[in-house]
Amino acid sequence: MENYNNFRIFNLGEPTKISPIHLSKTKGDNIFNFIDDKDRILADIQLNNFTSSLENGILPDSYERAGPRENVFFEGKNTTAAIVTCGGLCPGINNVIRSLVMNLHYFYKVKRVIGIPYGYEGLNPECGHDFIELTPEKVKNIHEFGGTILGSSRGGQDVSVMVDTLVANNIDILFTIGGDGTLKGANAIGTEIINRGLKIVVAGIPKTIDNDIDIIDKSFGFETSFDVACPIVRDAHNEANGAYNGMAIVKLMGRDSGFIAASTALSMPVVNFVLVPEMDFELEGANGFLENLKKRLLSKKHAVIVVAEGAGQHLFNAESNEVDASGNIQHKDIGLLLQQKIKAYFDSINMKTTIKYIDPSYIIRSAPANANDSLYCNHLAYHAVHGAMAGKTNFVVGSVNNTFVYLPITDVTKKRKKIDMEGGFWFGTLQSTGQPFSMK
């Protein structure tokens, strides 16, 4: 039962160098202790499942705890690290970049940190993007701004070419900041490196504003997203409440998962309907959305509707779906469709209404991180550096059950995290909005 085969992190080799961070191995001396690779965190914290595993002689699933190791693989003075940011913008990217640079420089004395411009394009010389030298002086204030100082792009490049670029520039560690597609690309790069027998680490820091990375508690930028969305929804409520039978539709990000929309409704409880990709609803019919919306207007004379961008795609005529450079399906605009359908419905029953449609998505994702996200970004970056310097590769750092752990990239990219429609989070959302459990 001591053979940890599940969620095992790959190491480039035996870490034989003493860590330059002077920590402790003694409990009670008021100094943080080094983390041992055998320190693991239970994946499932339910007692009945843990007991069942023990009764059946099966080692429960567990994750390797993140943190500084006593022995490291790389010696800072001989190490070059690189950072790349990919995909859409998200609050907190600059915070992560800053913390990576500061930790590498001040704690591990890494000689050089470079920024890869414009996502994976920057690892393809044919794209003509020059590397950016990242120093503590250059990054010291970037956390105050949204976006990414490195630029970003969607889509991958030839894996072999990208690895060749890493080798040609003597890069020892590559930190990839991005979502599902970025992490899959990082795993492909890391696998090619392993197959070539090279000693280059690839470490992933999960970035998706939609909070749809599997297993981990949350991804950075997510909290800021609904923090910024809340005053927008508050003002939308004021707009709706200021007109007879006034309605405000606010579309928020959430391609496949509705966490932002639902969290916004829970945080700003003036929302009357939340529509998310995970739910199957109908517009027409006795229990459809439009009938429930009419009941709301007859009772309260106004309504606020929050809709995730990926909700209600079944309402569009079946067409061949286009995809973006990352392979994501380009969803149709559900906000505009709702506005049109709502207007047509109430016009058909001669009911006077006023409808406002608001889409603040690109403003939200470009905002700087709030205090909680800034804190979270710092922790993610620090733990990513500790793991990378120890020679761990093809891993993602994240918080699971409020503890930071290292996870194989392949495990977090198997599927996207979605709202559990029978879970307490969605039940809380329904309690906040007062909408029916089903609108079918």
Q: What pLDDT is recorded for position 345?
A: 98
Same domain for 300 and 178: no
* 275/306 Cα distance (integer angstroms): 6
Q: Could you tell me which residues are annotated as the binding site for ATP?
A: 88, 154-155, 179-182
Same domain for 95 and 151: yes
Place of tokens 């929302």: 271
Domain annotation covers residue 145: yes
**For helices 371-389 and 93-106, angle between their N-to-C axes, nearest 10 degrees:** 40
Domain annotation covers residue 38: no
Catalytic residues: 210
Domain annotation covers residue 32: no
Domain annotation covers residue 23: no
* 282/312 Cα distance (integer angstroms): 9
- Domain containing 243 equals 222-366+421-433
Q: Could you tell me which residues are annotated as the binding site?
A: 88, 154-155, 179-182, 208-210, 253-255, 309, 362-365
Q: What are phi and psi of 64, to 5 degrees?
A: -75, 125
pTM: 0.94
Question: Which structure tokens are listed for 62?
Answer: 């567990």
CATH number assigned to the domain comprising residue 324: 3.40.50.460
Per-residue confidence of the chain (440 residues) as pLDDT tens digits? 444 557 999 999 999 999 999 999 999 999 999 999 999 999 988 999 888 888 888 888 999 999 999 999 999 999 999 999 999 999 999 999 999 999 999 999 999 999 999 999 999 999 999 999 999 999 999 999 999 999 999 988 999 999 999 999 999 999 999 999 999 999 999 999 999 999 999 999 999 999 999 999 999 999 999 999 999 999 999 999 999 999 999 999 999 999 999 999 999 999 999 999 999 999 999 999 999 999 999 999 999 999 999 999 999 976 556 776 666 677 899 999 999 999 999 999 999 999 999 999 999 999 999 999 999 999 999 999 999 999 999 999 999 999 999 999 999 999 999 999 999 999 999 999 999 999 99
Same domain for 192 and 125: yes
Domain annotation covers residue 197: yes
CATH number assigned to the domain comprising residue 143: 3.40.50.450
Q: Could you tell me which residues are annotated as the binding site for Mg(2+)?
A: 180
Same domain for 428 and 383: no
Q: Could you tell me which residues are annotated as the binding site for substrate?
A: 208-210, 253-255, 309, 362-365
- Domains of the chain: total: 2
Same domain for 173 and 297: no
Partners of residue 175 on adjacent β-strands: 83, 203
Domain annotation covers residue 47: no
Same domain for 288 and 140: no
Same domain for 176 and 138: yes
Domain annotation covers residue 55: no
Same domain for 382 and 330: no
Same domain for 291 and 386: no
Question: Which structure tokens are listed for 395?
Answer: 């891993």
Same domain for 346 and 253: yes
Sign of CA dihedral 218, 224, 227, 229: negative
Same domain for 377 and 359: no
Same domain for 106 and 184: yes
Domain annotation covers residue 406: yes
